[in-house]
């Protein structure tokens, strides 16, 4: 019979979990503080410990390394009533293997217990590491974001290559920075390469550097981003936009950990961790012959997928308040209240531009606000329209009369292009997307400037 220990200062919660686990056939004991829990663990050597984080005296995070130092080390499931990314990452790095929020979902707990005890029977143990620093934070209490936070904590413990996927504006760079900050190279540089923003002919020089005279205008030796990222992390954003030639060169870096600057015959070693991100489906690009399959395998050792904002609606309020706090600080504003009508409009909108679009909307609203309250009049037309659509639907509007997500995205892109005079650079900045992505959307939605004029033809 497998032995489980529940350590939780909430006596009613601990007793409930004990009764449930006993009904499942587990030999279950309980403790109500970290030190007595550690004493019981040393005496009973449980196979699994369910450990609360915040308790009187020492916290669950404080005692976690001592529990993992036992022989044999137990599996650890952390439970907490608090939601934040950094605590999740720290728990996973110290050796926890799952992280469940209170009130505990019994089905989620049962699934975690079964998975971990099956792993114990397979003699698969997870090593422990020290906690991460606290520089970058993301917000989310949805199940999808909890999984993202747990994955960050796990992959940060090694230098494994990571591919971050998700739509534009979901926060892929924040994930890359969090992995870097929680990893062993945290003291090293974090260097960003936007593979879509750099002209293709200059991307190789930007990434690998060049020697004097390597090409016209190369007046001196210039180190590239891989050289600058030594001892740290290089983040390749929008890696799906790379040309076939650059894909081949990147593949060599991944295979041999070396690169050759333009105009040089000597290869240079790199110890930089590589994290890549894309908002396109690379599997489809491989099928189309536009992306190398072997490169995809090398990049996607671990995949972290960020859900779009429309699929994590329960995170919206937390995001709004976190973003407003940052905007208040940056703009030296003092927004202290949000009208309910504003929250209703934000909740009803589909957010094709995701968190980046939400931040942009709030930034403009705060800039236009004359007082300390955000009101619906400060929101753009498309958001106020989403409220009207929601109200009519509640009144019985047929579902067939509502716009599809693609229609809403097309209309939003068209409005932004018109507002910027069809200037692609400005439109990309507002939409939070790359120029290649905007070109594809314009082709897909049949959007073209009147009279053939294009504010960004140059």
The full set of domain ranges for the chain reads 3-131, 146-305, 309-401, 405-452
Residues 219-240 have a mean pLDDT of 91
Assess contact for 275 and 180: CB atoms under 8 A: yes
Instruction: For residues 198 and 204, give the distance between their C-alpha atoms in angstroms, rounded to a whole number.
Output: 9
In DSSP terms, which residues pair with 164 in a beta bridge? 277, 304
Spatial CA neighbour of 197 closest among 156, 158, 239: 239
pLDDT in tens, 154-173: 998 889 999 999 999 999 99
Residues 298-315 have a mean pLDDT of 94
Instruction: For residues 75 and 120, give the distance between their C-alpha atoms in angstroms, rounded to a whole number.
Output: 8
Please tell me the predicted confidence (pLDDT) of residue 126: 25
- CB neighbours of 349 closer than 8 A, spacing ≥ 6? 382, 383, 386
Spatial CA neighbour of 277 closest among 321, 248, 244, 242: 242
- Pick the residue with more confidence: 349 or 396? 349
Residue 265 has pLDDT above 50, yes or no: yes
Residue 289 has pLDDT above 90, yes or no: yes
Of the listed ranges 30-34, 40-44, 408-412, the least confidently predicted one is: 408-412
Mean pLDDT value across the chain: 84
Residue 89 has pLDDT above 50, yes or no: yes
The CATH number of domain 405-452 is 1.10.10: yes
Question: Which CATH number is correct for 146-305, 3.40.50.300, 3.40.50.10490, 3.10.20.600, 1.10.579.10?
Answer: 3.40.50.300
Please tell me the predicted confidence (pLDDT) of residue 403: 54
Band (396; pLDDT cuts 50, 70, 90): very low
Please tell me the predicted confidence (pLDDT) of residue 433: 80
Fold of 309-401: Helicase, Ruva Protein; domain 3 (1.10.8)
Of the listed ranges 7-16, 170-179, 311-320, 400-409, the least confidently predicted one is: 400-409
N residues, the chain: 458
Instruction: For residues 32 and 17, give the distance between their C-alpha atoms in angstroms, rounded to a whole number.
Output: 13
- Pick the residue with more confidence: 391 or 385? 385
Tell me the percentage of the chain whose pLDDT exceeds 70.
90
pLDDT in tens, 58-68: 999 999 999 98
Q: Which helix (H) or strand (E) holds 367?
A: helix 354-368
| Same fold: 3-131 with 146-305 | yes
User: If one looks up domain 3-131 in CATH, what number appears?
Assistant: 3.40.50.2300
Please tell me the predicted confidence (pLDDT) of residue 452: 57
Highest mean pLDDT of the ranges 261-275, 410-424, 427-441:
261-275
Cα separations in angstroms, 118 against 107, 111, 167:
16, 11, 35
Highest mean pLDDT of the ranges 195-199, 360-364, 425-429:
360-364
Assess contact for 94 and 65: CB atoms under 8 A: yes
Please tell me the predicted confidence (pLDDT) of residue 405: 66
Please tell me the predicted confidence (pLDDT) of residue 238: 93
Q: What phi, psi does 306 have (nearest 5°)? A: -95, 125
């Amino acid at each position: 019979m497998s032995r489980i220990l529940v350590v939780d200062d909430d006596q009613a919660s601990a007793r409930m979990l004990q009764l449930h686990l006993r009904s499942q056939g587990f030999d279950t004991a309980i403790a109500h503080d970290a030190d007595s829990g550690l004493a019981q663990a040393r005496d009973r050597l449980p196979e699994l410990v369910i450990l609360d984080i915040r308790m009187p005296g020492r916290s669950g995070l404080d005692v976690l390394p001592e529990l993992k130092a036992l022989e044999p080390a137990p599996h650890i499931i952390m439970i907490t009533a608090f939601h934040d990314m950094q605590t999740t990452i720290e728990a996973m790095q110290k050796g926890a293997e799952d992280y469940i929020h209170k009130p505990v979902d019994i089905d989620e707990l049962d699934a975690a217990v079964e998975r971990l005890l099956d792993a114990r029977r397979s003699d698969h143990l997870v090593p422990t590491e020290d906690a991460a620093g606290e520089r970058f934070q993301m917000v989310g209490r949805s199940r999808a974001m909890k999984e993202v936070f747990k994955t960050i904590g796990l992959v940060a413990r090694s230098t494994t290559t990571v591919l971050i996927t998700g739509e534009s504006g979901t926060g892929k760079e924040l994930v890359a920075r969090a992995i870097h900050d929680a990893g062993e190279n945290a003291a090293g540089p974090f260097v960003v390469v936007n593979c879509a923003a750099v002209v293709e002919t200059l991307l190789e020089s930007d990434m690998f550097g060049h020697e004097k005279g390597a090409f016209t205008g190369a007046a001196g030796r210039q180190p590239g981003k891989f050289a600058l990222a030594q001892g740290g992390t290089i983040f390749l954003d929008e890696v799906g936009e790379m040309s076939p030639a650059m894909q081949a060169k990147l593949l060599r870096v991944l295979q041999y950990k070396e690169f050759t600057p333009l105009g040089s015959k000597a290869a240079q070693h790199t110890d930089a961790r590589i994290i890549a991100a894309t908002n396109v489906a690379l599997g489809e690009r491989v099928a189309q012959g536009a992306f190398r399959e072997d490169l995809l395998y090398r990049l996607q050792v671990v995949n972290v997928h960020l859900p779009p904002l429309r699929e994590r609606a329960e995170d919206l309020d937390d995001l709004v308040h976190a973003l407003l706090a940052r905007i208040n600080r940056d703009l030296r504003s003092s927004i202290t209240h949000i009208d309910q009508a504003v929250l209703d409009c934000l909740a009803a909108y589909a957010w094709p531009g995701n968190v980046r679009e939400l931040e942009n909307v709030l930034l403009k609203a705060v800039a236009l606000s004359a007082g300390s309250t955000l009101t619906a009049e400060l929101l753009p037309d498309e958001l106020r329209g989403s409220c009207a659509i929601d109200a009519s639907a509640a009144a019985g509007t047929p579902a067939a009369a509502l716009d599809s997500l693609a229609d809403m995205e097309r209309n939003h892109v068209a409005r932004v292009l018109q507002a910027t005079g069809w200037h692609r650079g400005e439109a990309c900045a507002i939409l939070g997307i790359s120029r290649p992505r905007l070109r594809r959307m314009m082709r897909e939605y049949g959007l073209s400037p009147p009279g053939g004029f294009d504010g960004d033809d140059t």
